[in-house]
A and B are shown apart, each in its own frame.
Chain A
């Protein structure tokens, strides 16, 4: 397996534009997580899915953020409209989460988003 695949790796956009980040999890993993990482706030959990169903979206900062998982092999995180304070590295991770010893999260390489 190629691991978790995120696209794009880098995104520069103007304030007010819509941004869509994409993620392909590892096949067979039931859980998918979206995180945002900044120096100030560290690695924040935005939302996570279990079997394509959103379980907890309490970390989504505002209504401008939305996430979907239409099937087991694809998820999107959308920001509309984007603002400069959304600039961060966004990570997608997947995990089997089967039993206490099988909870490793595998991360993609992240999308570095810059909103100008």
Chain B
């Protein structure tokens, strides 16, 4: 079973602060994804990382894939209230496209 452990589970910060969310596994994934979910909606993809060591930036969000393709991190710079939401990492298995999610991190950014 390919399990993804996300930390922290909850994060409550002030506007302007930086934060990092971690996603770890003992398994290798062919790619790793980060999603964001708003209340009452399904998750929506933010980014996919494929190559070990890869770093992708999306405005104030920076995503990194570990060298061994087992872990990933999401860093948000100068968080804003609009960043509030549930952030989920997901790993695509090495065969047959199995997509498994971590537990998620609930982020609250206070103005």
Number of interface residues of A (CB under 8 A): 27
Do B101 and A43 touch (CB < 8 A)?
Answer: yes
Does any Cβ of A come within 8 Å of B61's Cβ?
no
Do A56 and B42 touch (CB < 8 A)?
Answer: no
Beta-carbon contacts under 8 Å, B29-71 to A: 30-31, 33, 40-45, 48, 50
Does any Cβ of B come within 8 Å of A42's Cβ?
yes
Contacting chain B: which of A69-77, A78-86, A104-112? A104-112
**B43: nearest residue on chain A (CB-CB)?**
A107
Chain B: number of interface residues, binned into ranges: 20 to 34
Do B31 and A35 touch (CB < 8 A)?
Answer: no
**A31: nearest residue on chain B (CB-CB)?**
B97
How many A-B pairs have beta carbons closer than 8 Å: the answer is 70
Does any Cβ of B come within 8 Å of A103's Cβ?
yes
- Minimum CB–CB distance from B30 to chain A (whole Å) comes to 6
From the candidates A56, A58, A100, name the one contacting B96 in the complex (CB within 8 A). A56
Do B50 and A101 touch (CB < 8 A)?
Answer: yes
Instruction: Mark interface residues in A84-116 (1 if CB within 8 Å of B CB, else 0).
Output: 000000010101010011011101111000000
Interface residues of B (CB under 8 A from A): 1, 30-31, 33, 40-45, 48, 50, 88, 90, 92, 96-104
Interface residues of A (CB under 8 A from B): 4, 31, 33, 35, 41-45, 48, 50, 55-56, 58, 91, 93, 95, 97, 100-101, 103-105, 107-110
Could you write out 9 A-B pairs with CB less than 8 Å apart? A42-B102, A42-B104, A43-B101, A48-B98, A56-B98, A97-B92, A101-B48, A107-B43, A109-B40
